[in-house]
Amino acid sequence: MTQDDQHTRGIAILGSTGSIGTQALEVIREQREHLHVEVLTAHQNAALLIQQSKEFQPNTVVIGDLAKLKEVKDALFDDGIKVYGGAEALEQVVEMEGIDMVLTALVGAAGLRPTLRAIRAGKPIALANKETLVVAGALVMAEARAAGVDIHPVDSEHSAIYQCLAGELLNPIEKIILTASGGPFRGKSRAELLNVTKAQALQHPNWSMGAKITIDSASMMNKGLEVIEAKWLFDLKMEQVEVVVHPQSIIHSCVQFQDGSIKAQMGLPDMKLPILYALGYPRRLANDLERFDFLNYPHLTFEKPDMDAFRNLALAFEVGHKGGNAPAILNAANEVAVARFLADEITFIQLTNVVEHALQNVDWVSNPNLDSLVQSDEEARIKAGEFRS
């Protein structure tokens, strides 16, 4: 987007009814001279998808759940909006001509195929869907490089690093420091974690997010997924990724360069800022979001993550080192574990046991292709479903 560009950027939002999707629409509503909605997609929430479509008048919408297709079609008929349904339509829609950028705001490994299709169609990606990079980071980044497609991170930590790297093209990274809020259970021992409840796990201190990532934040799996996400996004070795707990979530992450200098990106914890940076890239778009004031935060504090209590983080580092299909197994098993925890089938502490069970029972493949990753994902889901305490 250049200064004299008359064209507003056409955005496709995959997962428009979720936490990131709805915040992206709030951002676009305030940035109409720069951004417009070309495509919206949702999995099941037909009512919200219809409401969003009536307001933003996209060219096309996709509802994942075919049982809701007629309802959405009927509701949007008079608006002349094209409506499709099902997973295949979700993959195809990203190729549409009017799309200038695809925001992947859907949750889980379901993001992998549409992201790959968008990359192959040459569409820049604003990537919120971290699971896609955890499952298939090597493949996705290789395809993006081959297609000359930029991936702009939306995850706040990765957006921070991305922002710190602006203008540093020739300067090698010594390491990155990913900050973590520590979630609702920061400071709890392993014994104390035995008794925590679902309601407590769903209460994040700093961020309001979808259910899956909220549980991942409580279990520190979110930080584990982000470590692997960062490795792929910024072409790092696992040894170059460090995690520091920072409960105030003001420093969103840092880069340390080879001269020892550290750059950090700061701001209030509000996902609209990283969403805006990705959608407007390389421009910083003016906005009315609340500004950070140092005087309101006289104490920014830092702690070492407790990987004995929060074993998910240690597991993610191990799996990141191991590579191959191991991260895909970890991710799939974790998706099932979170769903089972939310369905009251397992306890909080067992989230890790489910993932370990899958890692132990699905064969490791050192250099998997897409089919092999999909197969590992399916096998891991079965093993994770079979786990009994």
Residue 137 interacts with, from Mg ion, ligand NAD, none (CB under 5-8 Å by kind): none
24-34: b (≥16 Cβ within 10 Å) or e: bbebbebbeeb
Using the minimum distance from each CB to ligand NAD, give the nearer residue, 144 or 209: 209
Nearer to Mg ion, 84 or 277 (CB): 277
Residue with Cβ nearer ligand NAD (15 or 280): 15
- Residue 241 contacts ligand NAD per CB under 6 A: no
Task: Determine the interface stretch with ligand NAD among 126-134, 245-253, 308-316, 334-342 (rule: CB under 6 A).
Answer: 126-134
| Piece of 138-146, 147-155, 229-237, 339-347 that binds Mg ion (CB under 5 A) | 147-155
Cβ 214 to Mg ion, closest distance in Å?
12
Binder of residue 31, out of ligand NAD, Mg ion, none (CB less than 5 to 8 A by kind): none
User: What span, in angstroms and rounded, lies between the C-alpha atoms of 94 and 269?
Assistant: 30
The answer to the question of residue 221 lying near ligand NAD (CB under 6 A) is: no
CA atoms 80, 85, 91, 92: torsion sign: negative
Binding mask 312-351 for ligand NAD (x = CB under 6 A): ----------------------------------------
Torsion angle, alpha carbons of 74, 98, 5, 159, to 10? 90
Three-state DSSP string of 295-325? HHCCCCCCECCCCCCCHHHHHHHHHHHHCCC
**By CB under 6 A, residue 358 contacts ligand NAD:** no
Nearer to Mg ion, 12 or 154 (CB): 154
Residue 155 is a binding residue for Mg ion (CB under 5 A)? yes
Percent helix, strand, coil in the chain, to 5, is 45, 15, 40
Total residues belonging to the chain: 389
Q: Could you tell me which of 44, 21, 30, 43 has the C-alpha nearest to residue 103?
A: 21
Closest residue to ligand NAD, judged by C-beta, is: 18
Among residues 83 and 268, whose Cβ is nearest to Mg ion?
Answer: 268
Which of 38, 100, 155, 306 is in the footprint of ligand NAD by CB under 6 A? 155
Take residue 357 and report the two structure tokens written for it: 């069970």
Whether the Cβ atoms of residue 18 and residue 105 lie closer than 8 Å to each other: yes
Token readout for 261 is 């200098």
Rounded Cα gap, residues 263 and 356, in angstroms: 36
Distance in Å, CB of 108 to ligand NAD, minimum: 6
Q: How far apart are the first and last CA of the chain?
A: 54
Q: Which of 207, 240, 292, 370 binds ligand NAD (CB under 6 A)?
A: 207
Shortest distance, position 286 Cβ to ligand NAD, whole Å = 23
- Nearer to ligand NAD among residue 8 and residue 82 (C-beta): 82
Which partner, ligand NAD, Mg ion, none, binds residue 271 by CB below 5 to 8 Å per kind?
ligand NAD
Amino acid found at 88: E
282 contacts 163 by C-beta, under 8 angstroms: no
Using rule CB under 5 A, residue 229 touches Mg ion: no
Q: Confirm if 330 and 209 have CB atoms less than 8 A apart.
A: no
245 vs 264: CA distance, rounded Å: 14
Residue 159 binds to ligand NAD (criterion: CB under 6 A):
no
DSSP 222: H
Candidates 37-45, 154-162, 173-181, 330-338: pick the segment binding Mg ion (CB under 5 A).
154-162
- Residue 82 β-bridge partners: 60
Structure tokens at 211: 């259910």
State which of positions 24-43 bind ligand NAD (CB under 6 A).
42-43
Q: What is the largest CA-CA distance in the chain?
A: 61
Q: Is 218 in the site for ligand NAD (CB under 6 A)?
A: no
Give the nearest distance from C-beta 385 to Mg ion in angstroms: 27
**Where along the sequence are the contacts to Mg ion (CB under 5 A)?**
155-157
Residues contributing to the site for ligand NAD (CB under 6 A)? 15-21, 42-43, 45, 64, 90, 105-107, 110, 128-131, 155, 207, 209-210, 212-213, 271
